[in-house]
Amino acid sequence: MKEIHLDIRILSVSYDELDDRERALINAAKEATARSYSPYSKFAVGAAALLANGVTVTGSNQENAAYPSGTCAERTTLFYANSQYPDQPVLMLAIAARNASGFVSTPITPCGACRQVLLETEKRSGQPVRILLYGEKNIYILPGVKTLLPLSFGAEFLPAQEQATGT
Ligand code: THU
């Protein structure tokens, strides 16, 4: 028997330790929570993606009375980014969340489905997405989705196929 150790490292930083670009993206994610449609959970989540061409796109969670029909802020944002700018790698994704008492003090992390969509986003562009998770007390910086989704399932497990064209 062999034990396999997975080494996962994330940074915990303060707002002051961020650079200007990171601060702007976090601010955009926080602002995006104002456009959340979350009458059921009352938990407003915002996300902001910085694309390689310098464009920032934002999104928020959009809920539905038929609960599973709603979607998270991360997927709203990534699907919008990938559909409007299919050739632009997503460099960074910032996520912020607030409840009735304000922004969460410890960062929330993306759900499993959003992690899988982040993985596909990275695979499409061939580069990692730096992930910034906002909390009032601290901010986590993750170098890519691997830290959130080790042992992931990707296209490499599927039968060999023609080079994907993306269409
Ligand atoms: N939610 C997100 O938008 N992102 C996350 O990372 C976690 C959860 C949303 C889904 C739902 O609208 C609400 O938060 C409560 O789960």
pLDDT tens digits along 30-57? 999 999 999 999 999 999 999 999 999 9
- List the residue whose alpha carbon is closest to atom 8 of ligand 1: 72
Distance from C-alpha of 113 to C-alpha of 20, rounded to nearest angstrom: 30
Catalytic residue among 22, 63, 74, 122: 74
Residue 60 beta carbon below 6 angstroms from any ligand 1 atom: no
Ligand 1 center–CA 50 separation, angstroms:
20
pTM: 0.94
Q: Which two tokens stand for residue 87?
A: 């050739």
Cβ–Cβ under 8 Å, residues 94 and 134: yes
Ligand 1 center–CA 161 separation, angstroms:
35
Asked if 74 is an active-site residue, the reply is yes
Q: Which residue has the tokens 């979350």?
A: 38
Residue 72 beta carbon below 6 angstroms from any ligand 1 atom: yes
163 pLDDT more than 80: no
Distance from C-alpha of 167 to C-alpha of 158, rounded to nearest angstrom: 18
Q: What is the pLDDT of residues 92-127, one digit of tens each?
A: 999 999 999 999 999 999 999 999 999 999 999 999
Q: Which two tokens stand for residue 81?
A: 């980014």
Q: Which of 18, 28, 86 is nearest to 52 (CA)?
A: 86
166 pLDDT more than 90: no
